[in-house]
Amino acid sequence: MEQRDLSQLDGRWIVVTGGSKGIGLGIAHELLRRGAHVGIVARNPDDLATARKELEAAAPAGAEVAAFRADTGDEADVARLEGELRDRVPALSGFVANAGTGGLTSFLDLDVAEWDRIMRVNLRGTFLVSQLAARLMIGSREADPDGDRSLLVVSSVRAHQFRPGTLPYSCTKAALNQFVRAVAVELAPHRIRVNAVAPGMTVTPLMLERTPNVEDIAAQRIPFGRAGQPSDVAQASAYLLSAAAGFVTGANLAVDGGEALI
Ligand SMILES: NC(=O)c1ccc[n+]([C@@H]2O[C@H](COP(=O)([O-])OP(=O)(O)OC[C@H]3O[C@@H](n4cnc5c(N)ncnc54)[C@H](O)[C@@H]3O)[C@@H](O)[C@H]2O)c1
């Protein structure tokens, strides 16, 4: 008997926040490659249009790409996004809460504006979009009760391995790890899986802007001797979003070349 390849995502609609750049864009490319239809969400309309064009050019025949402008930390924006997704996406089967932000300020220099800025995107934003995604996926269950559905949250090695200057960022990612475990339990009765990927140092535009010598640092700090690429995180993410991980929920998958181990 021929076995279906469970790692493929044929015809499934998956939405990625922060999908215009870096890790989110890498995930969007991998999902398309595996046959999914992909929606990307970002704040900046120009970045969004550029990423959409790039994804459309790479999409296999029949794969759809949609772009949505929203600030994930803004309640009104997320409410509007929910309406737009209901109109555009026939049945949501996966969602990646990837949008995130960080900073590099020591504890004693940190002001409340910087603390709130990071909490707003990483925690409030992830909560808002995850609840939206859960509602849409519960809604799509009626038409396809046995379909695989999952939410994926992008955490970080910093959730448990601290580097000076990253206090609010680390706190948000540690909280997201517990968020994933808790929401995994709450959504299990709805047959929605909830997991996290935890990238280590990964080469993205933001990372290069802040740390141009990322590869030199990675060579010393990471057991595998190199920094991660968005494609590394994308492969792990695609697995967790696929039916190949159909009984995996509440997991936290490190994608860091061993960075968290030392
Ligand atoms: N790059 C790394 O080394 C690394 C390591 C561990 C975890 N991460 C996590 O991976 C995720 C992606 O990071 P990246 O390095 O690709 O960053 P990036 O800055 O290159 O991309 C972030 C994306 O999120 C979007 N975004 C930011 N705030 C947003 C908001 N309020 N509303 C909507 N979109 C918003 C941006 O537009 C962009 O598309 C983040 O959650 C980050 O914490 C990154």
| Any atom of ligand 1 within 6 Å of the Cβ of 98 | yes
Whether the per-residue pLDDT at 113 is higher than 70: the answer is yes
| Any atom of ligand 1 within 6 Å of the Cβ of 12 | no
Determine the Cα–Cα distance for residues 165 and 93; give it in Å rounded to an integer: 37
Query: Hey, is 97 helix, strand or coil?
Result: strand
Q: Considering the chain, what is the average pLDDT of its residues?
A: 97
Whether the per-residue pLDDT at 203 is higher than 80: the answer is yes
Q: How confident is the model at residue 5 (pLDDT cuts 50, 70, 90)?
A: very high
Pick the catalytic residue from 95, 127, 169, 179.
169
Whether the per-residue pLDDT at 1 is higher than 70: the answer is no
Exposure string of 180-215, with b = 16+ CB inside 10 Å and e = fewer, is: bbebbeebeeebbbbbbbbbbbbbbeebeeebeebe
Active site residue 239: no
| Any atom of ligand 1 within 6 Å of the Cβ of 228 | no
Q: Which of 15, 16, 21 to mutate to test the pocket of ligand 1 (most atoms within 8 A of CB)?
A: 21
Task: Give me Rg for the CA atoms of the chain.
Answer: 18
| Any atom of ligand 1 within 6 Å of the Cβ of 20 | yes
Fold of domain 13-255: Rossmann fold (3.40.50)
Whether the per-residue pLDDT at 138 is higher than 90: the answer is yes
| Percent of the chain at pLDDT exceeding 90 | 95
Query: Hey, is 22 helix, strand or coil?
Result: helix
CA-closest residue to ligand 1 atom 43: 100
Please tell me the predicted confidence (pLDDT) of residue 193.
98
Write down the residue that tokens 């057991």 correspond to.
Answer: 223
**Phi, psi for 98 (deg, rounded to 5):** -105, -30
**First CA to last CA across the chain, in angstroms?**
45
Reading the block at residue 28, the tokens are 């969007």
CA-closest residue to ligand 1 atom 32: 71
Q: Quick one: DSSP state of residue 43?
A: S
Whether the per-residue pLDDT at 58 is higher than 70: the answer is yes
Please tell me the predicted confidence (pLDDT) of residue 209.
87
| Closest atom, ligand 1, to C-alpha of 21 | 39
**Phi, psi for 6 (deg, rounded to 5):** -70, -10
Q: List the domain boundaries for the chain.
A: 13-255
Whether the per-residue pLDDT at 200 is higher than 70: the answer is yes
Whether the per-residue pLDDT at 2 is higher than 80: the answer is no
Q: How confident is the model at residue 3 (pLDDT cuts 50, 70, 90)?
A: confident
Please tell me the predicted confidence (pLDDT) of residue 206.
81
